[in-house]
Amino acid sequence: MTAVLDSAATTAPAVPQILELELTNRCQLTCDALCFVQAGPTKGHGTMSADEWKDVISQASGLGVQRIKLIGGEPTLHPHFSELLEHALAERLRVIVYSNLYRVRKEHWTLFERTGVTLATSYYADSDEEHDVVTQRTGSHAATRANIVEAHRRGIRIRVNIVDVQGGQQATRARDELTALGITDVGIDQVRAIGNAAGTALPSTSELCGRCAHGVAAVLSDGAVTPCVMGRFLPAGQVKGRTLHEVFTSPGWHEVAASIPSGRFGPCGPDCGPNDDSQGGGGTCGPAADVAPPTAV
């Protein structure tokens, strides 16, 4: 069925509060069970140049976007990561850096300490064995845990999203461990059937929280504009040769937004949703399919 759009709906840009910039598909880790980006050590940085990323950041600021999320892969591996973060701050945007915290360069700690920067990461278990089996990298649990502790010690605002990969008690134990370390902004999310987790199945909008394209949008490493990084299977435009304004006012963008089912619009963790800054985080937006429909009265 083709959506019938009000012509007025395409004249004003559907400006997101958060714009996710997927800088690279390269990552030191290989999370075969869940990575929706299907990132890894041999993947590239995409086709967006540093100047093109800067232009997108400036356009976002001009449109009224409030926060930029630098994500990957592992965004700190991008050769112009520091330059792009500095540019976003110069454009008076708040910045969320979503890093695996496997390795942190000394100069990146200085950036993370800047006013307006929030650090976010994923965590899978409270033990080396359970965490490292997810990342396929021996020592990743110890490294990520140590850098979470260091970020907290430095007074950096940090959020941790625990992905419940095994469906057992390890997520609860991991949350208890982080709480004991003094980390208070912690959420638990489930694996979404997107990317590696989808296997041979086709991705579905039912795996999305419902906020995608409604307050959040993403630009992928090839310039494709999607409703969020998890909604990468719904490309709705391209920043190469077009402006963000043109994309967000296009019929294609509004059709994609209309195709996504409404979900639970509560506080969201660092993987999902524009609410996480304004409401303090600490929760997650689960897939819309998990949200029971309202009871008729």
pLDDT of residue 12: 65
Q: Is residue 251 part of a domain?
A: yes
Q: Is residue 292 part of a domain?
A: no
What is the average pLDDT score of the chain? 81
Half-sphere exposure of 46 (CA within 13 A, CB side): 29
Of 25-34, 48-57, 212-221, the least confident: 25-34
Q: Record the tokens describing residue 271, joined without a space.
A: 């993987």
Q: Is residue 234 part of a domain?
A: yes
d(CA 74, CA 29): 9
d(CA 95, CA 69): 6
User: Total domain count for the chain?
Assistant: 1
Of 50-64, 154-168, 265-279, the least confident: 265-279
Classify each residue of 67-84 as buried b or exposed e, where b means 16 or more C-beta atoms within 10 Å of its C-beta.
Answer: bbbbbbbbbbbbebbeeb
Report for 74-88, 135-149, 162-176: range of highest mean pLDDT = 74-88
Quickly state the pLDDT bin for 267 (edges 50, 70, 90): very low
Q: Record the tokens describing residue 160, joined without a space.
A: 């941790």
Backbone angles phi, psi at 136, to 5 degrees: 60, 30
Q: Is residue 153 part of a domain?
A: no
> Which is more confidently placed, 189 or 79?
79
Q: Quick one: what percent of the chain has pLDDT higher than 90?
A: 51
Q: For the chain, what's the residue count?
A: 297
Residue listed under structure tokens 């990084």: 229
The residue-averaged pLDDT of 240-261 equals 91
Q: Residue 255 maps to which CATH number?
A: 3.20.20.70
Quickly state the pLDDT bin for 165 (edges 50, 70, 90): confident
> Can you give the residue range of the structural domain that contains 237?
16-121+192-276
Inter-residue contact 206 to 262 (CB < 8 Å): no
pLDDT of residue 206: 57
Of 78-92, 153-167, 196-210, 280-294, the least confident: 280-294
Determine the number of helices (DSSP H) and then strands (DSSP E) in the chain. 9, 9
d(CA 296, CA 9): 29
pLDDT of residue 41: 84
pLDDT of residue 108: 97
Inter-residue contact 92 to 58 (CB < 8 Å): no
Q: Is residue 101 part of a domain?
A: yes
Half-sphere exposure of 171 (CA within 13 A, CB side): 16
One-letter identity of residue 294: P
Quickly state the pLDDT bin for 5 (edges 50, 70, 90): very low
The residue-averaged pLDDT of 289-296 equals 38
One-letter identity of residue 168: G
Q: Is residue 291 part of a domain?
A: no
Residue 36: alpha-carbon gap to chain centroid? 10
Q: Is residue 58 part of a domain?
A: yes
Task: Tell me whether strands 216-219 and 224-226 are parallel, antiparallel or unpaired.
Answer: antiparallel
Q: Is residue 224 part of a domain?
A: yes
Quickly state the pLDDT bin for 220 (edges 50, 70, 90): very high
For residue 207, the 8-state DSSP code is G
- pLDDT tens, position by position, 73-88: 999 999 999 999 999 9
